[in-house]
Amino acid sequence: MIKITLFALLIAGLSSRTISEEYNLPDLGGHGGSGITAADEYRTGASVLRNIRRAGMVVDDPIITDYLNEIGYRLLSHQEHGQTKFTFFLVNDKSINAFALPGGFIGINYGLFTQTETESELASVFAHEIAHVTQRHYARAYDVGPVSNLPILAALIAAIVLGGQNQDLASAALATAAASQASKQINFTRHNEQEADRIGIQVLSDSGFNPERMATFFEKLERQSRTYGIDVPEFLLTHPVSVSRISDAKGRARHLPKVKDEDSVNYQLMRQRIIALANPNKHNNVKQFEEALTKKQGHELVAVRYGYVLSLLRTNQHEKARQQVDKLIKAYPLRIAFLLVQAEVEMEAKKPQRAIQIYQHALKLYPNNESIMHDYIEALLQQKQFSLALTTLNDFLKKSPKNPVFFKYLAKSRAALKQQTESHEALAEYYYQIGQFHQAVDQISIALKSSKDNFYATSRLEAKLKHIQEEIPVATN
């Protein structure tokens, strides 16, 4: 895999045409940032996220996504961010990386998540990335280099996120970069990193996290980087760590209130969830959790038991998993993660009605919770309870969930109930949200054929078709 820094790519002498053809992003005008609005940034960030999702690299796990947003918005409650609506998501990549897209889209690789040892370390990464967005470092990058503008910047972020899948683009960027431009961009990068550190560490402290953990996490990554050779983690390439930068972070932390590290239960649970689900060696995973159960206590023991249940499910040990879940539910009867895994055990054990009862109980406790709703709808569809699934989805979708899979479920429910026009329309929305624009157009076109006698439906579908077609030249080849 070719390793490259984000801003080195930004100043590379690539033509706008090459970038737009490769990543199909909106054309936001000429050079310079004067004409770029916050809406433009959001539109471009959303386009990049759709590209990442299309590549299958977004982890659509609602309960993990809920937790990431919980951390993100806890930090944002202590930082001025105007009208920017942030979206936090997990990237299906074991390498150590995190990044911010224009418009408030922040991704973190699961490999970085599991590398953290405290919740404050994880929050420090989020705080740093949030600062890049709130300080509009992307907008300020437009004036650097002769070809720098938002579509190029966004495309190159996507190149880094997608890693080895885009080596040709990376090679072209490196081959055409001029030394003088690189020198200018390095200074620009350093300034932005320092600013993101300064603002991020203050927000970290204001939010009740331990501000010392920003320095300790960067220090840990810097130490580990010495063992990587040329295969340095992307995070250290896009966020260069130096001795002076670590010292600066330590110095700032000394002037902030001391905070004791107290990880939330959710942090421990989600970390163990990722470890349990990401390890390809399922049986070895079970053994590792069994060993860890004998060594942990307190919240860590609870989290390890949760990971153990997930690993048991992956190896079809349902009864053993049920015994462990019963211990979790007895201690924490209202915790969403445990209610969900309890229902999952019953589904895997071929007792769907018991699982559906658990989901319905959970929804009474937490109405419209996206994680519960996701698993509940899946169970209803599996049991062919399409009418109940459709009624539930129609009400829930009014709440504007972020996970596009709900539109796929909506399409399946409607198709089963012979609502063909509406089914194709829902499926078009699903394809649109995951960046498969031609498939979305196909579904709208099919829907239009069956709605020709319905003026209102036809008008609505034609408007959607026009909207999607306008994005095709910048969204997909």
Could you report the per-residue pLDDT of 177-227, keeping only the tens digit for each?
333 344 444 444 677 788 888 888 999 999 999 999 988 888 887 776 665
The reported pLDDT for the residue numbered 297 is: 82
Confidence of residue 259 (pLDDT cuts 50, 70, 90): confident
**Of how many residues is the chain composed?**
477
Picking from 28-42, 211-225, 296-310, 430-444, which range would have the lowest pLDDT averaged per residue? 28-42
302 vs 37: which has the higher pLDDT: 302
The reported pLDDT for the residue numbered 157 is: 56
The DSSP line for 311-361 is HHHHTT-HHHHHHHHHHHHHH-TT-HHHHHHHHHHHHHTT-HHHHHHHHHH
In percent, the amount of the chain with pLDDT more than 70 equals 75
The reported pLDDT for the residue numbered 36 is: 65
CA 214 – CA 288 distance, rounded (Å):
29
420-440 mean pLDDT: 91
285-307 mean pLDDT: 92
The reported pLDDT for the residue numbered 241 is: 61
Kindly list the domain boundaries of the chain, sorted by start residue.
6-254, 267-475
Picking from 70-84, 148-162, 378-392, 396-410, which range would have the lowest pLDDT averaged per residue? 148-162
| 267-475: CATH superfamily | Tetratricopeptide repeat domain (1.25.40.10)
The reported pLDDT for the residue numbered 187 is: 47
CA 115 – CA 121 distance, rounded (Å):
9
Q: What is the pLDDT of residues 361-403, one digit of tens each?
A: 999 999 989 999 999 999 999 999 999 999 999 999 988 677 8
Tell me the C-alpha to C-alpha distance, in Å, between residue 51 and each of 44, 48, 422, 449: 11, 5, 26, 29
Whether pLDDT at 146 is above 90: no
Whether pLDDT at 165 is above 50: no
Confidence of residue 306 (pLDDT cuts 50, 70, 90): very high
Whether pLDDT at 53 is above 60: yes
Q: What is the pLDDT of residues 32-52, one digit of tens each?
A: 444 567 777 787 788 788 878
Q: What kind and span of H or E run contains 107?
A: strand 105-109
Confidence of residue 136 (pLDDT cuts 50, 70, 90): confident
Whether pLDDT at 229 is above 60: no
The reported pLDDT for the residue numbered 232 is: 55
283-305 mean pLDDT: 91
| 91 bridge partner residues | 58, 109
CB 59 within 8 A of CB 35: no
CA 474 – CA 21 distance, rounded (Å):
8
| 100 bridge partner residues | 106
The reported pLDDT for the residue numbered 230 is: 52
The reported pLDDT for the residue numbered 84 is: 77
What value does the mean pLDDT of the chain take? 80
432-437 mean pLDDT: 84
228-242 mean pLDDT: 58
Whether pLDDT at 147 is above 90: no
Whether pLDDT at 19 is above 90: no
Picking from 148-152, 157-161, 186-190, 354-358, which range would have the lowest pLDDT averaged per residue? 148-152
Report how far apart the first and last C-alpha atoms of the chain are (Å, whole number). 25
CA 56 – CA 35 distance, rounded (Å):
33
Confidence of residue 238 (pLDDT cuts 50, 70, 90): low
Whether pLDDT at 131 is above 50: yes
| Contacts made by residues 291-297, CB under 8 angstroms, sequence distance 24+ | none
Whether pLDDT at 311 is above 90: yes
The reported pLDDT for the residue numbered 134 is: 86
The reported pLDDT for the residue numbered 143 is: 47
The reported pLDDT for the residue numbered 219 is: 82
Confidence of residue 406 (pLDDT cuts 50, 70, 90): very high
Confidence of residue 242 (pLDDT cuts 50, 70, 90): low
